[in-house]
């Protein structure tokens, strides 16, 4: 026999209460459920308390009289205190909750801790709500759903085991005490059932401005409570995230924007609507979402390097969190998941890309999110909300980066088709097809943007497509360079002593992979992650090699940055297969490599790609040596957005002039102009910074910055069999002859 007390708070429910009591006891299955009602009345002016006393003579009812209107939440708590039964329930007295569900809901407590009537479960219905009431309800549910993971956390019709709240300090005064129970309670299993939410018969709503204000205070308080409770439970992860925040913010502004980063600066003067129109009419090589988010940030915060890089930084933090969650899902081991999150964050390469005012970390975050939900579909089976999240993440990838979208869409569809051929599809083909079709429709504006960029604007980069773009040697080096970048970062050279330490760890990674196979320690899910990581590197290498061979393989890894967190997961998984003492030593050695990489990064030493380490020295030189009346050349190396961003601080003496075609610029003789130039390594020739000085001008002053490492320069020259540039960046003061 299931013994349950059903708490019914009342205030001016004299007409409804008799109908409710009769209905409750007429539908309860008395052979299985021993039910009592506890009516808690707040001194109702209409005599509800006296009506309850009369009903208690005929039915098993306890009546609790209170001195005044003290709040719905406190009434429920009062009712709980007056019950000595193991099962508790709550329902409204206004007949809005259908008692026909009581038998089912109480019965479900055999296998669940909380059972609630959900207005949002399939099969539920809500009678004749006014539009404003429905809007308020749905807004409240949306505000609280993320705190609980429950569809209807504001339901007033629910049952629970007493042990859920035993020792839990409930304090809700206003309505919706279920929200507090879901957040603070000890339950692990929640079941939602559909029910008919009926229109009240005789009474009116008790909600007023005071109740809404109390509810808002609840939301704020429970958000902090939930976060604090989560932080205490995941203190090591919080520590890793705090470390990640420090690493990402430390010296975030000691470098200025390098060439590709400056692209976003041209959009900052737009309004939000103006950006959409401008981008639609003149799209960039990359989709608009990243630029749009940076624009939003620039409207909220002051124009600083941190503001412009904030979207990338937040995406980087998201990657760290997602690596922890993904690894824990794959392995089921909290320690391994923490190690994966730690080494993801504790990396000079991760900090470099996540501090960059480019879309790479955002694309990697959305791509990793897509793979996370795809993994759940693959290994946990179809769940509607997971399927929807997968599609949403896929669309977000598409609006962030074309290569990442290609990798994600190609890989997930290939795996799905493989399962379909083997007659073990993740979900039915029709559902998969229509889901992909919906994603394609949502992404269709990108087709116009690509067409506009290639055909109408005539971007030269896309015309270089070549199936045999580079040698196989180049391709193989590119594959291994991904691993090198992901493990060492790009601030540790092969001739540095610590490189040997890192190679030792990588050899151990291979050993752990083999040892795990021999001992049959690899699960299907873990091998899937290994396969996924390898696939991302191969896809990125071949895609970049074919689609844009103008790039040297040194820059490949950032274009497939989602492979970075996946490979960190793989490294950790492989090392975790080894014996504990060996693991400890290897993770310690890996940490030493990471420390050295970070030290070199923050000191701007040992960089493989000097482009990323453009400092403010050039701008300071212009500020200190410029004179009123001098010009500033607006070129791809110093675009208009750079001038607008820094004009007050560095370029106040200068006059900007479009210098993309110097021969067409009509300047008077002896006019002086500041000219920024960048050294580069072409496919067949080296371009020194001085080579960019246009004809008809002589150099008056120059300032060089970001030199190549001398040893690295010699190695490059030996490999290329030609001289390399010495400085990456130079600013010239030119005078027209």
How big, in percent rounded to 5, are the helix, strand and coil portions of the chain? 55, 10, 30
| Residue-level pLDDT at 209 | 57
Does 597 map to a domain? yes
**Looking at 229, 253, 281, which one is the last position of a domain?**
229
The C-alpha atoms of residue 649 and residue 711 are separated, in whole angstroms, by 36
Residues 195 and 305 in one domain: no
Q: How far is CA 176 from CA 156, 300, 717, in A?
A: 6, 34, 72
Which pLDDT score is estimated for 551? 66
pLDDT for 613 equals: 92
| 551 and 446 together in one domain | yes
**Per-residue pLDDT reduced to its tens digit, 276-333:** 998 998 898 899 999 999 999 999 999 999 999 999 999 999 999 999 999 999 999 9
Q: In the predicted model, what is the mean pLDDT of residues 390-416? A: 97
pLDDT of residue 480: 92
Are residues 665 and 573 located together in one domain of the fold? no
Mean pLDDT over all residues of the chain? 89
What CATH number corresponds to the domain at position 201? 3.90.550.10
Judgement on whether residues 666 and 708 belong to the same structural domain of the protein: yes
pLDDT for 171 equals: 80
Is residue 609 domain-resident?
no
Segment (H or E) for 735: strand 727-736
Band of residue 84 on the pLDDT scale cut at 50, 70, 90: very high
Q: How large a percentage of the chain has pLDDT more than 90?
A: 66
pLDDT score, position 709: 87
Based on the fold, state whether residues 431 and 307 are members of the same structural domain: yes
The pLDDT value recorded for residue 508 is 98
Mean pLDDT, to the nearest integer, of 674-702? 87
- Helix H or strand E encompassing 162: none
- The domain boundary, picked from 229, 252, 278, lies at 229
Phi-psi region of 425 (alpha: psi -120 to 50; beta: other; left: phi over 0): beta
> Which domain covers residue 346, as residue numbers?
234-602
User: Where are the extended beta strands (E) located within 113-251?
Assistant: 114-118, 125-126, 158-161, 190-194, 196-197
Residue 587 resides in a domain? yes
Between 626 and 223, the higher pLDDT residue: 626
Check residue 470 and give its pLDDT. 57
Give pLDDT tens digits for 422-431: 999 999 999 9
Q: Are residues 468 and 375 in the same domain?
A: yes
CA pair distance 108, 103, nearest whole angstrom: 9
CA atoms within 13 A on the CB side of 27: 15
CB 240 within 8 A of CB 200: no
| pLDDT on residue 462 | 46
Identify whether residues 225 and 332 lie together within a single domain. no
Domain presence at residue 345: yes
The pLDDT, as a whole number, for residue 681 is 76
Note the pLDDT of residue 137.
Answer: 55
Share of the chain above pLDDT 70, in %: 91
Distances (CA, A) of 60 to 11, 15, 32, 428: 20, 19, 16, 52
The angle subtended at Cα 344 by Cα 342 and Cα 349, nearest 5°, is: 130
In a domain, 634, yes or no: yes
Q: How many residues does the chain have?
A: 737
Out of 14-23, 83-92, 176-185, which region has the weakest mean confidence (pLDDT)?
A: 176-185
pLDDT digits (tens, 9 = 90+) for 455-497: 887 764 544 444 334 567 778 888 999 999 999 998 999 999 9
Among candidate residues 171, 200, 229, the one where a domain is terminated: 229
For 90-149, the pLDDT digits (tens) are: 999 988 899 999 999 999 999 999 999 988 787 766 655 555 455 555 555 666 666 777
Does 676 reside within a domain?
Answer: yes
pLDDT of residue 518: 94
Work out the burial of residue 221: count CB atoms within 10 Å of its CB; fewer than 13 is exposed, 13-18 middle, 19 or more buried: middle
pLDDT at 201: 58
Report H helices in 203-333.
Answer: 209-233, 235-249, 272-281, 289-300, 305-331
Residue 528: pLDDT over 80: yes
Verify that 630 and 576 share a domain, yes or no. no
> Is 309 in the same domain as 436?
yes
Indicate if 225 and 244 belong to the same structural domain. Answer: no
CA separation for the pair 185, 180 (Å, rounded): 8
Q: Contact at 8 Å (CB) between 329 and 375? A: yes
User: pLDDT by residue (tens digit) across 537-568?
Assistant: 999 998 887 766 556 678 889 999 999 999 99
In a domain, 631, yes or no: yes
Question: What total number of domains does the chain contain?
Answer: 3
- Tell me if 602 sits within 8 A of 373, measured CB to CB: no
* Residues 666, 635 share a domain: yes
Tokens representing 685 are 């020739």
pLDDT at res. 664: 82
> Is 608 domain-assigned?
no
Work out the pLDDT band at 503, boundaries 50, 70, 90: very high
Q: What is the pTM of this model?
A: 0.85
Identify the pLDDT of residue 726.
87
Higher local confidence (pLDDT), 370 or 177: 370
Residues 190-244: tens digit of each pLDDT: 999 998 877 655 555 555 556 556 666 767 777 777 788 878 888 999 999 999 9
| Exposure on the CB side of residue 581, measured as CA atoms within 13 A | 0
- Same domain for 508 and 654, yes or no, is no
Q: What's the pLDDT score for residue 204?
A: 54
Question: Tell me: the pLDDT tens digits for 568-583?
Answer: 999 999 999 999 999 9
């Amino acid at each position: 026999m299931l013994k349950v007390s059903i708490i019914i708070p009342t205030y001016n429910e004299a007409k409804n209460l008799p109908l409710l009591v009769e209905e409750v006891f007429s539908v309860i299955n008395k052979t299985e459920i021993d039910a009592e009602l506890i009516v808690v009345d707040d001194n109702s002016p209409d005599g509800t308390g006296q009506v309850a006393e009369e009903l208690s003579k005929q039915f098993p009812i306890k009546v609790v009289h209170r001195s005044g209107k003290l709040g719905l939440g406190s009434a429920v708590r009062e009712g709980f205190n007056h019950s000595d039964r193991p099962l508790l329930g709550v329902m409204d007295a206004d007949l809005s909750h259908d008692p026909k569900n009581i038998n089912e809901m109480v019965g479900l407590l055999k296998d669940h801790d909380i059972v609630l009537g959900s207005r949002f479960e399939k099969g539920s219905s809500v009678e004749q709500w006014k539009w404003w009431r429905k809007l308020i309800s749905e807004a409240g549910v949306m505000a609280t759903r993320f705190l609980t993971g429950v569809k209807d956390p504001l339901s007033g019709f629910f049952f629970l085991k007493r042990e859920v709240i035993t020792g839990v300090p409930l304090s809700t005064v206003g309505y919706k005490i279920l929200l507090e129970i879901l957040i603070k309670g000890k339950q692990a299993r929640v079941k939602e059932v559909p029910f008919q939410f009926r229109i009240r018969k005789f009474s009116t709503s008790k909600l007023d401005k005071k109740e809404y204000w109390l509810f808002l205070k609840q939301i704020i308080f429970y958000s902090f409570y939930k976060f604090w409770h989560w932080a205490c439970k995941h203190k090591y992860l919080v520590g890793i995230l705090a470390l990640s925040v420090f690493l990402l913010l430390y010296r975030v502004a000691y470098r200025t924007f390098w060439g590709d980063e400056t692209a976003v600066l041209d959009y900052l003067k737009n309004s939000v609507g103006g950006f959409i129109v401008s981008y639609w009419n003149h799209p960039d090589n990359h989709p608009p979402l990243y630029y749009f988010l940076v624009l939003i940030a620039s409207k909220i915060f002051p124009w600083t390097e941190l503001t412009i890089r904030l979207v990338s930084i937040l995406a980087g933090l998201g990657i760290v969190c997602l690596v922890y969650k993904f690894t824990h899902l794959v392995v089921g081991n909290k320690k391994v998941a923490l190690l994966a999150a730690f080494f993801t964050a504790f990396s000079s390469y991760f900090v470099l890309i996540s501090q960059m005012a480019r879309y790479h970390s955002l694309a990697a975050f959305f791509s990793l999110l897509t793979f996370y939900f795809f993994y759940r579909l693959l290994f946990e089976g179809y769940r509607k909300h997971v399927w929807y999240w997968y599609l949403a993440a896929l669309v977000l990838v598409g609006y962030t980066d074309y290569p990442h979208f290609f990798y994600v869409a190609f890989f997930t569809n290939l795996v799905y088709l493989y399962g379909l051929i083997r007659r073990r599809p993740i979900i039915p083909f029709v559902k998969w097809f229509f889901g992909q079709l919906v994603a394609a429709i949502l992404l269709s504006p990108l087709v116009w943007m690509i067409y506009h960029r290639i055909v109408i604007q005539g971007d030269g980069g896309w015309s270089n497509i070549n199936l045999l773009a580079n040698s196989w040697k180049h391709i193989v080096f590119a594959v291994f360079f991904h691993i090198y970048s992901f493990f060492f970062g790009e601030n540790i050279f092969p001739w540095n002593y610590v490189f040997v330490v890192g190679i030792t760890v990588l050899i151990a990674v291979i050993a752990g992979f083999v040892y795990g196979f021999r001992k049959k320690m690899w699960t299907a899910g873990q091998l899937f992650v290994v396969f996924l990581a390898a696939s991302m590197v191969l896809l990125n290498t071949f895609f970049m090699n074919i689609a844009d061979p103008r790039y040297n393989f040194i820059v490949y890894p950032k274009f497939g940055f989602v492979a970075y967190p996946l490979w960190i997961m793989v490294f950790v998984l492989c090392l975790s297969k080894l014996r504990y003492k060996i693991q400890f030593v290897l993770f310690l050695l890996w940490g030493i490599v990471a420390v050295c990489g970070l030290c070199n990064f923050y000191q701007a030493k040992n960089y493989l790609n000097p482009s990323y380490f453009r400092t403010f020295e050039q701008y300071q030189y212009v500020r200190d040596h410029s004179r009123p009346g001098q010009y500033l050349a607006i070129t791809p190396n110093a675009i208009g957005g750079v001038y607008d961003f820094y004009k007050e601080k560095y370029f106040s003496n200068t006059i900007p002039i479009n210098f993309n075609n110097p021969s067409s610029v009509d300047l008077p003789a002896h006019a002086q102009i500041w000219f920024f130039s960048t050294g580069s390594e072409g496919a067949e020739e080296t371009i020194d910074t001085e080579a960019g000085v246009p004809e008809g001008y002589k150099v008056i002053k120059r300032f060089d910055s970001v030199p190549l490492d001398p040893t690295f320069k010699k190695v490059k020259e030996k490999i290329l069999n030609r001289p390399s540039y010495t400085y990456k960046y130079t600013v010239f003061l030119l005078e027209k002859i």
